[in-house]
Amino acid sequence: MGLFDFMKKKKEEPSEEDKILDGAESAGVVVPDHAKPKEESVVSKKVASKKQQGFSIFRVTGVYAVGGDVMLSGIVEVGTIKKKMKTRIKDKDSTVLDIKIGTGSVKELPLRQEGTIFLKGKNLFLVRTEDLLEFK
pLDDT of residue 29: 62
**Among 15-24, 50-59, 104-113, the range of highest mean pLDDT:** 104-113
| Tens-place pLDDT, residues 67-102 | 878 899 999 999 999 999 998 887 888 899 999 999
**Among 3-7, 29-33, 60-64, the range of highest mean pLDDT:** 60-64
20, 29 in Cβ contact below 8 A? yes
Q: For residues 95 and 11, what is the distance between their CA atoms, to the nearest angstrom?
A: 58
Read off the pTM. Answer: 0.62
| Tens-place pLDDT, residues 38-52 | 554 445 555 555 555
pLDDT of residue 88: 86
Instruction: For the domain made up of 55-135, give the CATH fold.
Output: Elongation Factor Tu (Ef-tu); domain 3 (2.40.30)
